Structure 1
Amino acid sequence: MPDTATPDPLARLSVQPVDPARPVADQIHGGLKTAILQGILPPGCLLSETEVGQRFGASRTPVRDAFTRLREDGLIVTWPSRGSYVAAISEGAVRQAQFLREALELAHVARLCEIGLSPRMQAMLTENIDAQARAAAARDMDRFQSLDDGFHVALAQATGYERAETLLVREKSALDRLRILSLSDGDHIARLLDQHQDILSSILARDTQAALAAMRAHLRVVLTTLADLKSRHAALFDDAPGSN
């Protein structure tokens, strides 16, 4: 249900000046997406194209482009004559995204076990996991999340297929808010780190079955935590009381 209690939800948004050297639509999309994923703009917040343009100092065209991408990400919904609102988390969308992401990432690790990792990629992934361990020890959740994303993107890039990374980033958008909610749990982070290490070790050993099993277990964690996250953050989900 739209949030009418807050007249200007964008007042919560910290906006950096637009860099004219970079695509403006990319900057608006990135800024709004981050704010939605972090809960700064919660479900139900009205997003006015005019107000967003004013906040970013941008014209309507890049704002509309950014809104189109946010709809494709499943992060906003638009109703004729009513406007665009931050979308609630849909359990159905989460399960569909997890299904598609699992299919993609199992294919990635199977191919990497077949073709092997280059020395450069081995070093990059090893350093990534070492950095994850440092971020986890420091409880730097933003850094850990960035490294987590980087680990999976690097695996996609290592396949040699250009669209692998694009498809992965698109399909995991529906899962990102759940990931951020769960990162407050130190035990959960330790488990993710162990799983990343298992995945990389299996790929380096060219053990396809072990790599597939490790990746499958890793990607299904979101399904095991879904019920708990729904109970603790009911207002963020589309089947919460009053959300329809």
Structure 2
Amino acid sequence: MTTLPHREAAPVANIPIRRTSTSHQLYEQLRERIIALELPPALQLSRNELAEAYGVSQTPVRDALQMLEKEGLVVVYPQSKTEVTRIDLRHARETQFLRMSLELEVVRTLSTEPAHPAIDQAARLVQLQETAVNIDEDLERFALLDRQFHRLMFEAAGVPDLWSLIQSRSGHIDRLRKLNLMDPGKAATILAAHREIVTHLQAQELSSAQEAVRRHLSGTLAKVDEIQRAHPQFF
């Protein structure tokens, strides 16, 4: 039987604790493990094993799997099995298109307020990322800080629900990014991009900030052929 332990993310920022249902908590934990590639494509998930491993009844397990299926991260075969899906490149490209469009407008909004406290907060997150990758060699923490960097900008622009929208359909592109992050030098490229975005926002250089965002968000899909050749089992 595969053991599915509870995973606790290292504290990074002051994030309010959300009270959610058992089903949603289970969904979030399973989703995190799928995106982290701990639960790889084609892996079969047993309701009985999941219920026993997490100490819950089968009802929240069923509900969590249904939520994951709506996002396209698992496929549920009634009365048969549940299987983790392979990375869907079409879905990844669509999500990337959506995110690019929205984040360029977020940067436009923030570039009009060079003294916005969120810009300084973003700079601090970049420093934490640098520590995570260069000192702690912790890519998982680095990836978490990356998400916080971008979420912070959406929140500062007053559109946090749009970040939630992106995240609700980001499972395929996030798995692709996870594979890309394993490549030597990728973390350093992300750090450089984040520094560049912050610098241009502080200077109110809109076109330069937007160009930095375009290059940054396009990096993974630009290397999709290389990623597929290196990790064919995920596609």
- How does the TM-score come out when normalised to structure 2? 0.87
Contact 2:4 2:50 in 1 (8 A): no
Going from structure 1 to structure 2, the CA distance change for 1:160 and 1:37 (only over 3 Å counts) comes to same
Written as runs of structure 1 = structure 2, the 5 A alignment for 1:1-244 is 8=1, 11-15=2-6, 23-116=21-114, 118-119=116-117, 121-138=118-135, 139-237=137-235
Identity of aligned residues (%): 30
Q: Please give the root-mean-square deviation of Cα atoms over the aligned residues, in Å.
A: 2.0
- How does the TM-score come out when normalised to structure 1? 0.84
CA deviation after TM superposition for structure 1 residue 45, in Å = 1.5
Q: Aligned with 1:220: secondary structure?
A: helix
1:111-159 alpha-carbon deviations (Å, 9 max, x no partner): 211345522x233211100111111212211111011111011011111
Structure-2 separation of matches of 1:166 and 1:184: 25
1:18-53 alpha-carbon deviations (Å, 9 max, x no partner): xxx753123211221222122222111122333322
- The alignment of Structure 1 onto Structure 2 pairs a total of residues equal to 224
Structure-2 separation of matches of 1:15 and 1:110: 40
Structure-1 separation of matches of 2:5 and 2:160: 33
Structure-2 separation of matches of 1:169 and 1:116: 27
Contact 2:51 2:58 in 1 (8 A): yes
Structure-2 separation of matches of 1:73 and 1:25: 15
1:242 match: none
Going from structure 1 to structure 2, the CA distance change for 1:132 and 1:56 (only over 3 Å counts) comes to same
1:5 match: none
Structure-2 separation of matches of 1:81 and 1:25: 20
Structure-1 separation of matches of 2:70 and 2:143: 22
1:203-237 alpha-carbon deviations (Å, 9 max, x no partner): 12222111111101100001112111100110110
Going from structure 1 to structure 2, the CA distance change for 1:137 and 1:68 (only over 3 Å counts) comes to same
Which 5+ residue runs of structure 2 have no aligned equivalent? 9-18
Structure-2 separation of matches of 1:222 and 1:233: 14
Which 5+ residue runs of structure 1 have no aligned equivalent? 1-7, 238-244
Contact 1:13 1:40 in 2 (8 A): no
